[in-house]
Every structure is written in structure tokens, then in C-alpha cells.
């Protein structure tokens, strides 16, 4: 087999595995993941997720390397959630309700968190 055809076979294998993984996630979380009920949408979502995993994930892992080391790799869950959130932003028919609720909740709770009175007093004393 030539080098180009080996790469194509590896890409097709990873795309099929990615499609099956997205399909299993849709089946298990059917109330929280919607893809427009078309197979073409599912194939497009898995293809784009594969592209994001190939190009964006290494960059995110490099940027988050200290956090990955500090949390012993558990920060990968956050990176995966970010990639899925990016997928929902890029594809209008693909929607993950739990992920979006979690990101909204984390943003709003961080923004609405009151400042500790001692910190506020020290900041106003300057």
C-alpha cells in the first residue's frame, strides 16, 4: 500500500469510529443531543468533530499543558467539552443541551459571585 492510501484508510477508519461514537452518544443521551434526525447531519457532525480533534485539540492541549499536568489529565474533560461546544456553534442543527447549560451556568455563577467583604475593603482603601 502506498503512503497516501494508508493515510486515507486511517482517516476513514477514524471517521467511522468517530461516527459510531457520536451515534452512541446520541442514543444514550437522546434527550440532550439533537442532530436534526438526518444521517447526513450525523455524518457531517462526526466529520467536523474529527477535524476539530485533529487540528484544534493539539493546540488546546499545548496551551492547557500546565493544567493537564496539575490535574493528572482530568482537564481533558474540559477540553472535550470545549470541542463539543465549538461543534454546536459551527453546526446549527447539532445541539447539546447539557454542555450549553453547564457553560452558561459556570459563566453566570462566576460573574454573579459577590466579592468577599475584606477584599472589597482592601481594594477601596487604596
pLDDT tens for 9-40 read: 888 888 888 788 878 877 777 777 777 778 88
Which residue in this structure is represented by grid cell 447531519?
41
If one counts every other C-beta atom within 10 angstroms of the C-beta of residue 61, the result is 14
Question: What is residue 76's predicted lDDT score, i.e. its pLDDT?
Answer: 85
Q: Which domain holds residue 75?
A: 3-125
Q: What is the pLDDT of residue 63?
A: 93
Distance CA 7, CA 2 (A): 9
pLDDT at position 121 is 55
Higher pLDDT, 126 or 42: 42
- Is 0.95 topped by the overall pTM? no
| pLDDT at 59 (0 to 100) | 92
Domains in the chain: how many in total?
1
Amino acid at each position: 500500500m502506498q503512503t497516501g492510501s494508508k493515510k486515507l484508510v486511517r482517516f476513514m477508519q477514524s471517521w467511522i469510529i468517530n461516527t459510531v461514537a457520536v451515534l452512541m452518544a446520541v442514543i444514550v443521551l437522546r434527550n440532550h443531543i439533537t442532530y436534526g434526525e438526518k444521517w447526513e447531519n450525523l455524518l457531517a457532525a462526526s466529520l467536523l468533530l474529527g477535524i476539530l480533534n485533529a487540528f484544534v485539540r493539539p493546540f488546546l492541549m499545548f496551551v492547557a499543558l500546565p493544567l493537564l499536568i496539575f490535574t493528572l489529565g482530568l482537564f481533558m474533560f474540559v477540553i472535550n467539552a470545549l470541542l463539543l461546544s465549538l461543534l454546536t456553534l459551527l453546526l446549527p442543527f447539532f445541539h447539546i443541551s447539557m454542555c450549553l447549560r453547564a457553560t452558561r451556568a459556570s459563566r453566570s455563577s462566576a460573574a454573579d459571585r459577590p466579592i468577599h467583604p475584606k477584599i472589597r475593603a482592601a481594594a477601596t482603601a487604596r
